[in-house]
Structure 1
Amino acid sequence: RMSAVLLLLLLSAGNAGSQPESALPRRRLSCVRCCGPSEQPVSIISQRSTRMSSHPQYSLPKIQPIINITILKGEKGEAGERGFPGAAGKPGERGSRGPSGRKGQKGHPGPQGHSCKQLFSAFSVGRRQPLHSSHYFQHLTFDTEFVNLYQHFNMFSGKFFCYVPGVYYFSLNVHTWNFKETYLHLMRNEEATAVLYAQPSDRSIMQSQSLMLDLREGDEVWIRMFKRERENAIYSEESDVYVVFNGHLVKPALE
């Protein structure tokens, strides 16, 4: 009996395998969960992340850590030693002028200064008498005194003596004589510094000469008549002064 039962089972199995596939009903495949919720396959996770990252709605936000430095900052340390001074830099451009400051208080009066001694020297003399030269050289003297400060001009010799060294101004005015030559030198010591000259003429004229001289103490200034082959003369009258000699100090040498 057991052999008969096994034979029947084999026959039934062979018949079932010989039937066409079309006659068999198709089963519908379905996904069966074979793992836990937190144990998804790697392929599924990578596919899902790729699909979600490509869509802006499911893109993952970038996380950047922010560290609060104030929390990590420690207490202020002690000041270190002062370092060596650095090299001097180039001078900068000059700045604009600042506003004027306030007026300061009035200071105390200073000590009294030394007295300033003012120096003067001046003279003005004239001659009322005419003069003809009788010698080769002849001093021109004067008989009228207009100004003679401190008697620096010697009326007897007709010479100005320099007591105050400095720069002086001198002028000489004479009246010529008709048909006679007028030839005078303004002298500094024995040096002829300037000449006053007029040729003989039928008319007399007023002739003048002036100059400035730098004198030293002890220098003498005077007028000298010079005679050549022609007669040399100057004209004047008792009633009028036709010959005038002036001089004064312009600037003392001590200033």
Structure 2
Amino acid sequence: MVDRVGIIVLLSLVLHNVYVNGHEKHKYDTLQQEVSDLKQIVLDMNVELHNVKKQYAELKENMITSRYKHGDEDTNRPETSHKRDLGQITPHTRSAVYNPTLHLASLLNGTRIKASGPKGEKGESGTQGLKGDISAPGPRGQNGVKGVKGDMGLVGPKGPPGLTGQKGEVGQRGIPGAMGPKGSQGYKGEQGRKGNNGRQGLPGPRGFIGSQGQKGTKGNTGEKGNQGLKGSPGSCQGGNVSFSLQTGLKRIRQHGQNLRFDTLYWNNGNHFDPSTGVFTCRVPGLYLFILTLTVNPEEKIQLSINLNDHQWRFVTADGNRTSASTSMSVSGYLSRGNTISVVLLQRSKHSASTCYFEGFLVS
């Protein structure tokens, strides 16, 4: 085991010296191969040592069995006593010790093991024999059991700088970095080309009802059209129901008070009472109500549309530094006897805002 470690350490030192002094890759590869071959030889030696130990154990077992057998055969001899400690025989009358020996060569050759007689005197040394021929390499033995991991060795000296490697492939794109500080203002660019027309915007809020225009000239009588399809039966609505009103908020001072409109554009059906500011439903159906506010700069006002004296919807107009206009529409089904009114919730101290309120029976 020590020889194997010494061989590996020696070869590692030789390999390191060659690599430091020569920088020759082919020599390094050759030494790597030689180290691999020596490691294989050490493994083969371990396999052979394991086989010898196994044969020695079998030889010892056979020797003990043989001694017990000889002890059984000599039980009838009066001059000897048999001991059961490893099969040793101690004669009573003989002066020479009877010690059976085993022939290792006979065991390795596969022959039976025989006991020999007493040990003779040492013979003279014979002349040295001629050197035998080198035999052919034997077959490769089986791989031995993997040994226990050894302790970590000492840190070796720092090696020389390696050769410059080949240029690697382009790496993946990294994560975008954080935004840098704001740069200085650049030069004024040239005027760009005129852009395309933008998309049509959303419809604006409904405007105020204008004054009635002049009566136009009578047109020519048109051709008689085809008879239309028969319509579905209509509901009894009692005629057209609608109103359009206007009032200023300067004279209204108490919060929670109904607005009384002093300008009446129309009141079809007379369902709206201007004196109380309350609309009473007499024809059940779907109604649409529109409330519009215009305020001056630095003014703020908030109104609500109440259904049966309970807040239904509210609207807020805040002029800030400029004039502002806000509109709100709400629709719902009214039953006979339901009431609709506009109530002041909040306003600035000196508000000269104007309120427009309209209602229509839709269906």
Q: TM-score, normalised by structure 2?
A: 0.33
Q: Which has the higher strand share?
A: 1
Q: TM-score, normalised by structure 1?
A: 0.46
Q: Which has the higher helix share?
A: 2
